[in-house]
Amino acid sequence: MRARLPYLASLGVDAVWLSPIHPSPNVDWGYDVADYLDVHDDYGSLADADALIADARRLGLDVWLDLVPNHTSDRHPWFADRPEYYVWSDQVPNDWRSIFTGGSAWNWDARRKRYYLHQFAPQQPDLDWWSPDVREEFDRILRFWFDRGIRGVRIDVAHGIVKDRELRDGIEHMRNRPEVHDVFARWQRVASEYDPKPTLMGETYVSLDQMYGYWRHLDLVQNFAFVRAEFELEELRPIVEQTMAHLPPGRRPCWFGSNHDHSRMATRWAGGDEAVHRAALFLILTLPGVAILYQGDELGLEDGVVPPERILDLADPPRDPERTPLPWTRSGEEWRDPWLPLDNTERNVEGQEGDADSILEYTRGLLRERARFTDDGYRTLPSATGVWAYARGGRTCVLNLTEDVAGHEGLVLQPWEGRII
Ligand code: NOJ
């Protein structure tokens, strides 16, 4: 990872968000944490993390961690030693269902002779965020990493960590509870002890209407309405307009098209079509606020093909196709024993580096333009059908979201072409 930091810096990004790095049985790709205060052996040691943070800092990059506060691994020592940190019930108390198994979210624990809650896999027991001790543990965890120089956290299942205290029926009592904001207010106080203040970004897997409230105490709120939309003007533009209309002063929106839980945008949005993928990059990188690129987006990397015997993920359908390695070279020899197969190296870093016509150089060019935008406002401008025009950063962005040649104020736009004027 340290060796690849110069590549990230050369892209022109500001920060790198790591997927979970902690010791974990990896039932859920590290989202089942067995120790929040250490690094998984596969990745190295705490000293390696420190060195990574220091190298990144020298290159002008911040390192962000993926923090998983909703649940731990059932192998976390707390599950044995501090059972009061978790959510228990003598009977199955409600109709809550596990996202992974589809069955009841309650699992019988033979040792305690009680049921514990797991929104995700049975090996991921949910923490009880009504417990003051749990809150204090996480204050310590945050300080531990902020002290080491971590400049931001992506908060896993941010909308779901506090459950209804009475465990009432209904999904609305398992997730998106109003009390969750108290936790983030508290974390803002912890973050404010540091200068610069680390960024709190929520994985807010909620509808657009529900998303706005999370801006109260989170710096960044991930926009899942956007990522889940079809790549069509009629779907995306209203989402952007509504998001901007609700944005409180001092907050920034946050856009992305791919992550480790969703088919990569080169596949899902573009269906492998390079021009459509470039249009998606154009949009994400010219909208105001914060843009997140997932590894390989900058190359047009599509989902990998993972044969059934190599599937690791417990979700159905498995998320492995979007988790395959990033090809650095055409031969792929840099990956000796990757966690998932590397089946297609056609779009790779080495092959695109320095090629002015490549998606990689297109992405770099957009990031350079983006850095020159003068403000973070957004205004939809009148345009022809299928063309999205907006004022942004003192410039005008126009994007043709059709398969036909289109026009905008004398400009001729090729199918899917974006222009900053
Ligand atoms: C969201 C993460 O992004 C996903 O990968 C994980 O399976 C669940 N949260 C549970 O932690």
Over the stretch 161-174, which tens digit does the pLDDT of each residue have? 999 999 999 999 99
* Contact partners, residue 405, CB within 8 Å, separation at least 6: 412, 413, 414, 415
Q: Helix H segments across 247-403?
A: 265-268, 274-286, 349-352, 359-371
Looking at the chain, the whole-number percentage of residues with pLDDT higher than 70 is: 100
241 is catalytic: no
Separation of CA 181 and ligand 1 centre (Å): 20
Over the stretch 382-405, which tens digit does the pLDDT of each residue have? 999 999 999 999 999 999 999 999
- Asked if 211 and 247 touch (Cβ cutoff 8 Å), the reply is no
Helix (H, G, I), strand (E, B) or coil at 216: helix
Asked whether 388 lines ligand 1 (CB < 6 A), one says no
Query: Per the structure block, which two tokens stand in for 278?
Result: 């470039």
Residue 394 lies in a domain: no
Residue 238 is predicted with a pLDDT of 98
Interatomic CA distance for residues 34 and 72, integer angstroms:
7
Q: How many residues does the chain have?
A: 421
Residue 260 lies in a domain: yes
Residue 405 is predicted with a pLDDT of 98
**Catalytic residue chosen out of the listed positions 66, 126, 128, 203:** 203
Query: What average pLDDT is seen over the chain?
Result: 97
Asked whether 121 lines ligand 1 (CB < 6 A), one says no
Residue 160 is predicted with a pLDDT of 98
Residue 104 is predicted with a pLDDT of 98
Asked whether 297 lines ligand 1 (CB < 6 A), one says no
Residue 229 is predicted with a pLDDT of 98
- Asked if 310 and 321 touch (Cβ cutoff 8 Å), the reply is no
Over the stretch 182-204, which tens digit does the pLDDT of each residue have? 999 999 999 999 999 999 999 99
The CATH number of the domain holding residue 310 is: 3.20.20.80
Over the stretch 34-77, which tens digit does the pLDDT of each residue have? 999 999 999 999 999 999 999 999 999 999 999 999 999 999 99
- Measured CA to CA in angstroms, residue 313 lies from 217, 323, 342 at distances of 32, 10, 16
Residue 230 is predicted with a pLDDT of 98
- Asked if 204 and 158 touch (Cβ cutoff 8 Å), the reply is yes
Separation of CA 30 and ligand 1 centre (Å): 9
Asked whether 322 lines ligand 1 (CB < 6 A), one says no
Residue 378 is predicted with a pLDDT of 97
Over the stretch 197-232, which tens digit does the pLDDT of each residue have? 999 999 999 999 999 999 999 999 999 999 999 999
Confidence of residue 241 (pLDDT cuts 50, 70, 90): very high
Residue 100 is predicted with a pLDDT of 94
Residue 168 lies in a domain: yes
φ, ψ of residue 79 to 5 degrees: the values are -65, -30
- Asked if 176 and 158 touch (Cβ cutoff 8 Å), the reply is no
Handedness of CA 340, 342, 344, 350 (dihedral sign): positive
166 is catalytic: no
**Smallest CA separation from ligand 1 atom 4, residue:** 261
Asked whether 182 lines ligand 1 (CB < 6 A), one says no
Residue 90 lies in a domain: no
Separation of CA 396 and ligand 1 centre (Å): 37
For residue 317, whether the previous peptide bond is cis, meaning omega lies within 30 degrees of 0, is: yes
**Catalytic residue chosen out of the listed positions 62, 156, 298, 334:** 156
Closest CA to 274 of 306, 305, 297: 297
Separation of CA 29 and ligand 1 centre (Å): 8
List 395's β-bridge partners, or say none: 392
Residue 214 is predicted with a pLDDT of 98
Residue 76 lies in a domain: no
Residue 131 is predicted with a pLDDT of 98
Asked whether 31 lines ligand 1 (CB < 6 A), one says yes
Confidence of residue 3 (pLDDT cuts 50, 70, 90): very high
Range of the structural domain that residue 215 is part of: 2-70+132-376
Looking at the chain, the whole-number percentage of residues with pLDDT higher than 90 is: 100
Interatomic CA distance for residues 267 and 280, integer angstroms:
11
Helix (H, G, I), strand (E, B) or coil at 30: coil
Residue 383 lies in a domain: no
Over the stretch 91-103, which tens digit does the pLDDT of each residue have? 999 999 999 999 9
Asked whether 314 lines ligand 1 (CB < 6 A), one says no
Q: Which residues of 164-194 are buried (b: 16+ CB within 10 A; e: fewer)?
A: beebeeeeebbbbbeebeebbebbbebbeee
Interatomic CA distance for residues 139 and 144, integer angstroms:
9
Separation of CA 278 and ligand 1 centre (Å): 28
Query: Per the structure block, which two tokens stand in for 44?
Result: 């190295």
Closest CA to 277 of 264, 259, 289, 290: 264
Asked whether 157 lines ligand 1 (CB < 6 A), one says yes
Question: What's the pTM value of the predicted model, to 2 decimals?
Answer: 0.98
Confidence of residue 374 (pLDDT cuts 50, 70, 90): very high
Separation of CA 34 and ligand 1 centre (Å): 15
Over the stretch 11-30, which tens digit does the pLDDT of each residue have? 999 999 999 999 999 999 99
**Smallest CA separation from ligand 1 atom 5, residue:** 261
Q: Which amino acid is at 316?
A: D
Domain count, the chain: 1
Asked whether 261 lines ligand 1 (CB < 6 A), one says yes
Interatomic CA distance for residues 331 and 17, integer angstroms:
27
Residue 262 is predicted with a pLDDT of 98
Residue 50 lies in a domain: yes
Mutate to test the pocket of ligand 1, among 29, 31, 256 (most ligand atoms within 8 A of CB): 31
Residue 404 lies in a domain: no
